[in-house]
Amino acid sequence: MFKVLHKEAVAPQVDALIIDAPYIAGHAKAGNFIVLRIHEKGERIPLTIADSSLDKGTITLLFQKIGKTTEELGTLKKGDFIRDVAGPLGHDTPVKKYGHAVLVGGGIGSATLFPILKALKEKKNKVTVILGARNRELLVWEDRFAEIADETILTTDDGSSGKKGLVTEALKEVADSTDIDVVLAVGPIRMMQAVAELTRPYKLKTYVSLNPVMVEGTGMCGACRVSIAGKTKFACIDGPEFDAHDVDFEEIAHRLNFYKDEETESLEKFRKKKCKGKCKSKGTKESSGQVVK
Amino acid sequence: MRSRDPEIRIRDFKEVALGLTEKQAVKEAKRCIQCKKPMCVTGCPVEINIPAFISAIRDEDITGGLAIIRKYNMLPAICGRVCPQENQCQGKCVLGKKKTAISIGALERFAADYEMIKGLSQKTNMSKPNGHKVAVIGAGPAGLTVAADLARHGYQITIFEALHEAGGVLTYGIPEFRLPQKIIDREVEYVKSIGVEIKLNWIIGRTQTVDELFEEGYRAVFVGVGAGSPRYMNIPGENLNNVYFASEYLTRVNLMKAHQFPKYDTPVKRGKRVAVIGAGNVAMDAARTAARLGAEKVYIVYRRTRSEMPARMEEVEHAKEEGIELLFLSSPKEIIGDEHGYVKAIKCDAMKLCEPDASGRRRPECSGEDFILEVDQVLMAIGQTSNPILTKSVKGLNLWGAGYIEVDDEGRTNIPGIFAGGDIATGAATVISAMGAGKRAARAIDDYVMGRKKVKSREPEMAETEG
Ligand SMILES: Cc1cc2nc3c(=O)[nH]c(=O)nc-3n(C[C@H](O)[C@H](O)[C@H](O)COP(=O)(O)OP(=O)(O)OC[C@H]3O[C@@H](n4cnc5c(N)ncnc54)[C@H](O)[C@@H]3O)c2cc1C
Ligand SMILES: Cc1cc2nc3c(=O)[nH]c(=O)nc-3n(C[C@H](O)[C@H](O)[C@H](O)COP(=O)(O)OP(=O)(O)OC[C@H]3O[C@@H](n4cnc5c(N)ncnc54)[C@H](O)[C@@H]3O)c2cc1C
Ligand code: SF4
Ligand code: FES
């Protein structure tokens, strides 16, 4: 059992939890994730270790409530328990002195990028961070990034904060105006794919952190397999970071849709139960727009 | 052995084989001619004194019989159900030459179930605590055995298990209809009852390292992490939607209870026409699970023929009774997808057997023809290999083959204080061999910690000052 020590709403549909997990905190490196199961009937889902404290023995999870499990996780309060948390998992991000590193984050991708930013700065890299979201409200942890990064560029689709436009447009500007040694992008599949396509002609070393469906997260099931340069790899032990120019994005996008029907069913059932039929008018409004029958 | 009606049993996950009644068991035991040189014992990987336990059952001293088995085998209720007896004890029984071999597995299971049904509990002679801590990595049959044996000898044991439940393959791989979870739970509870602590969600190599365990005062470490990583074939279409590795498919159902979705949150796709590639126990389990999840047609697609199938005989028979069709001499070479990227069919080479080679084995070769089998789901069960998380985390550990740990007969690795056994040392094998390896390693660990044998100690200086 893992105790929730702190809970915070970070943006609409995005929460942060601080969890008591001293052994995981003691071994967490940039790029690592955990797999958690809230209760006995729960699903195992992977979440990046967005931050950790060795002294306090805690890890921070930052998650977007997009389905049953993340929504349920969002109902936990300080003092509640998560039944299972296993980790740290996945390869450590290759952190070294590159020179100029550019981190590109879309939406919840910030969770993965924050520890990488810290690690890159420890190695005395110059780091430019580009964070994008649909609007100002949906930007996650931009202030924390700005504190540490050499430069932080924000983009929003509607221009409500930073530049109006996409992260790739901002990245292109940086690439055209300065030398970049490495790019690391984390976010929705299509965003990572766009970054990969953008940097390819520039011959820029680019990493992406893939997020396929996982089950146990320790290399024992193969649920998370992805095609990298034509070879099957398990994202949980061979990744989740891969060379962006080797990734078969179409395949991942496709595999991520595999359980759509079940995900919808599960979420609807959960919301119905949570409301117990009372909150048809309320509560669903602020949710991500899905109609509860 | 009696088994449930196939028509009914394929609609649920309850156990298929029913076991013997006391009357049947005693009658079967009476058939044993109590050989002076019992061949059955030579076929048993842990050399259970089989005639002795059978003779106790014959005399209706069931618990006495069980006590004899337990001297050699810690997990009789499990082994009685899942051992490939036809290749082991039963396969060697002299009666099998002329008539029917004694159903040794069924008798073993009967003795173990008898205790459970009568609500008796296992008596344990415990040695006084000796104050030594030993760490066991992995809660599969190998790890559980080492833990129990050493705990009885007075050691303070902690098992570290990566998953959220103990049992290893017994829990996440072998389905409920073959090995009910309550039987595994009972063994795990027993191990806990004799003082073993089990830390779940604890991945050695990640949550903690082996070196850190030694620093925490563990005198020895046993590695029983199994060989759980699925192999793939590298044929086109392997990553289409609705192609599962059997490992994932079975884990979803057995560990995560996906067959009870949405009561449990983890989903699994139910195929209508399912092809299972492979012919071992894993393939049989996947195929029979697919049938229970409502498949209209399930095929086992296998390169060779019936006589080479590595699965237990009983499982093959049960699968056939459940309507699963075996396609031999069929070697899949491509999985074909529809326009949405979902499985539509598989393409197989039709094989033929060539002339026997020097070893007398007839290898399959392509006949030059191929065929297409229309299916909407493919389950790949072509084997498992080692998982690198632990082995890569221990510097200097000698490995062999596809990353298995090199050990001597007693389970010693090249690093003093580190022992290993089960699938991670042998490659995917059997429950009984993992258990046997655990027993031998427990003895070697005891010798090592007590300094009984001249082995290099981990910390020579410390050992000297202590001595
Ligand atoms: C290594 C790794 C690290 C991750 N880190 C984070 C993190 O720090 N914060 C965070 O919010 N999410 C993270 N994710 C994604 C997270 O695991 C999924 O959002 C989560 O599993 C969704 O579960 P659910 O039951 O709430 O939603 P579901 O009902 O399972 O899914 C709802 C929707 O989300 C999509 N989806 C499902 N699984 C994933 C996935 N793995 N990635 C992207 N979309 C998915 C589905 O296609 C569906 O549209 C990570 C994924 C991986 C593989
Ligand atoms: C589907 C299936 C059906 C089978 N059917 C039969 C059968 O009928 N009869 C038979 O005799 N055999 C059968 N087998 C084989 C048999 O189950 C195995 O040979 C046996 O379980 C091996 O035992 P083990 O203790 O070595 O490893 P496992 O049972 O694999 O247990 C290893 C444990 O270690 C844990 N672990 C792994 N890495 C770490 C780590 N780094 N830190 C902590 N813990 C870790 C794993 O989570 C697992 O729980 C079957 C196997 C499968 C997959
Ligand atoms: S070989 Fe057969 S008959 Fe002989 S002792 Fe063993 S079980 Fe009995
Ligand atoms: S999640 Fe099971 S192998 Fe990666």
How does pLDDT run across A43-98, given as a tens digit for each residue?
A: 999 999 999 999 999 999 999 998 899 999 999 999 999 999 999 999 999 899 99
Within chain B, how many helices (H) and strands (E) appear? 20, 17
Which pLDDT band, with edges at 50, 70 and 90, does A219 fall under? very high
Query: Percent of chain A having pLDDT more than 90?
Result: 67
Residue A289 above 80 pLDDT?
no
Residues of chain B neighbouring A237 (CB-CB closer than 8 A): 387-389
Q: Mutation test of the interface with chain A: which of B161, B164, B338, choosing the one with the most A Cβ atoms within 10 A?
A: B164
Q: CA geometry: angle at A232 spanning A226 and A234, to 5°? A: 60
Residue A214 above 60 pLDDT?
yes
Beta strands in B224-296 (DSSP E): 229-230, 243-245, 273-277
Ligand number nearest CA of B38 is 3
CA distance A175 to A192: 16
CA distance A258 to A155: 31
Mutate to test the pocket of ligand 1, among A19, A211, A264 (most ligand atoms within 8 A of CB): A211
Q: Is B262 at the interface with chain A, CB within 8 A?
A: yes
Task: Supply the pLDDT for residue A283.
Answer: 41
Nearest by CB to residue A237, choosing from B208, B252, B389, is B389
Which residue from A51, A195, A171 is spatially nearest to A111, judged by alpha carbons? A51
CA distance B202 to B241: 31
Q: Is B160 in the pocket of ligand 2 (CB under 6 A)?
A: yes
Mutate to test the pocket of ligand 3, among B34, B42, B68, B98 (most ligand atoms within 8 A of CB): B34
Bridge partners (DSSP) of residue B380 are B245, B277
Residue A277 above 70 pLDDT?
no
Q: Mutation test of the interface with chain A: which of B165, B201, B231, choosing the one with the most A Cβ atoms within 10 A?
A: B201
Other CB atoms within a 10 A radius of the CB of residue B25 amount to: 25
Which chain B residue's Cα is nearest to A260? B267
Q: Are A218 and B203 within 8 A, CB to CB?
A: yes
Which residue from B216, B160, B333, B206 is spatially nearest to A49, judged by alpha carbons? B206
DSSP string of B325-338, one letter each residue: EEE-SEEEEEEEE-
Residue A286 above 50 pLDDT?
no
CA distance A180 to A104: 13
Task: List, in sequence order, the alpha helices (H) in chain A.
Answer: 22-27, 68-73, 110-122, 142-148, 167-177, 189-199, 235-238, 249-256, 260-275
- Output the six-digit token pair for A35: 């797999």
Q: Are A86 and B203 within 8 A, CB to CB?
A: yes
What does each of the 467 residues of chain B score in pLDDT, given as a tens digit? 788 889 889 988 998 888 999 999 999 999 999 999 999 999 998 889 999 999 999 999 999 999 999 888 888 999 999 999 988 999 999 999 888 999 999 999 999 999 888 888 777 788 899 999 999 999 999 999 999 999 999 999 999 999 999 999 999 999 999 999 999 998 899 899 999 999 999 999 999 999 999 999 999 999 999 998 998 888 999 999 999 999 999 999 999 999 999 999 999 999 999 999 999 999 999 999 999 999 999 999 999 888 888 888 888 999 999 999 999 999 999 999 998 889 999 999 988 888 777 777 778 888 888 999 999 999 999 988 999 999 999 999 999 998 999 999 999 999 999 999 999 999 989 999 999 899 999 999 999 999 886 656 565 444 433 33
For A57: left if phi > 0, alpha if psi spans -120 to 50, otherwise beta; the answer is left
Q: CA geometry: angle at B378 spanning A246 and B292, to 5°? A: 140
Dump pLDDT digits (tens) for A128-155: 999 998 888 888 888 889 999 999 999 9
Q: Are B269 and A87 within 8 A, CB to CB?
A: no
Name B153's Cβ contacts closer than 8 Å, sequence gap at least 6.
B127, B130, B442, B446
**Cα A287 vs. chain centroid, distance in angstroms?**
19
Q: Is B230 at the interface with chain A, CB within 8 A?
A: yes
Q: Is B104 in the pocket of ligand 3 (CB under 6 A)?
A: yes
Question: ipTM score here?
Answer: 0.88
Dump pLDDT digits (tens) for B161-218: 999 999 999 999 999 999 999 999 988 998 999 999 999 999 999 999 999 999 999 9
CA distance A24 to A18: 12
CA distance B83 to B81: 6
Q: CA geometry: angle at B186 spanning A216 and B177, to 5°? A: 65
Q: Is A87 at the interface with chain B, CB within 8 A?
A: yes
Residues 98-157 of B with CB under 8 A from A: none
Which pLDDT band, with edges at 50, 70 and 90, does A184 fall under? very high
Count of A–B CB contacts within 8 Å? 115
Do residues B333 and B370 make contact, with C-beta atoms less than 8 angstroms apart? Answer: yes
Task: Supply the pLDDT for residue A280.
Answer: 53
Helix, strand, coil abundance in chain A, percent, nearest 5: 30, 30, 40
Do residues B301 and B325 make contact, with C-beta atoms less than 8 angstroms apart? Answer: no
CA distance A291 to B185: 42
- Output the six-digit token pair for A228: 């990298």
Q: Are strands A126-133 and A100-106 parallel, antiparallel or unpaired?
A: parallel
- Cα of A221 to ligand 4 centre, how many Å? 5
